[in-house]
Amino acid sequence: GIITSLEHLVEERKEGYLNKAKIADGGKKMRKNWSNAWIILSGQKLEFHKESKQQALSNLKTGNKPEWVDLRGASIEWTKEKSSRKNVFQITTVSGNEFLFQSDIDLIVLDWFHAIRKVIEKVPKE
Ligand code: I3S
């Protein structure tokens, strides 16, 4: 119906803290280094802010560009092999960048997984 049609026009937007580790850059494996990041899912982009929401806001003001990931054509999957931590999922981008995301709180991770998967399924591949 009309509501469903309108829902598709509304951009997915979500913000919060997750633990994040980049494990490959352009297909090249990197040393894993977990850090807590303020993450913003906005449209087809996932932005990472090293410090906090405050950092994110100050980046906005100063025009400092945060690290971000293009979700077009990316893949998302749960992984138990790449970390001893619980609740870890992996995003692999078209450019061959691989990231792990994690939280000890089940609901937080589930929420993020589903929100990101929804965007990946929705956006055109190119
Ligand atoms: O997959 P790994 O190598 O066991 O990942 C661990 C390392 O990244 C480790 O750093 P060092 O290589 O500097 O020791 C981290 O401290 C650990 O947290 C990583 O393992 P987990 O299971 O937490 O992802």
90-108: per-residue pLDDT in tens? 999 999 999 999 999 999 9
Write down the residue that tokens 């560009």 correspond to: 65
- Say which residue, 8 or 105, is predicted with more confidence: 105
CA distance 67 to 122: 22
What is the pTM for the complete model shown? 0.85
Q: Distance, CA 19 to ligand 1 centroid (Å)?
A: 13
Query: Contact 45/116 with Cβ under 8 angstroms?
Result: no
**Among protein residues, the one whose CA lies closest to atom 16 of ligand 1:** 33
Q: Distance, CA 21 to ligand 1 centroid (Å)?
A: 10
Q: Is 32 in the pocket of ligand 1 (CB under 6 A)?
A: yes
Mean pLDDT for all residues in the chain: 89
Q: Is 86 in the pocket of ligand 1 (CB under 6 A)?
A: no
Phi, psi of 122 (to 5 degrees): -85, -40
Write down the residue that tokens 């061959």 correspond to: 96
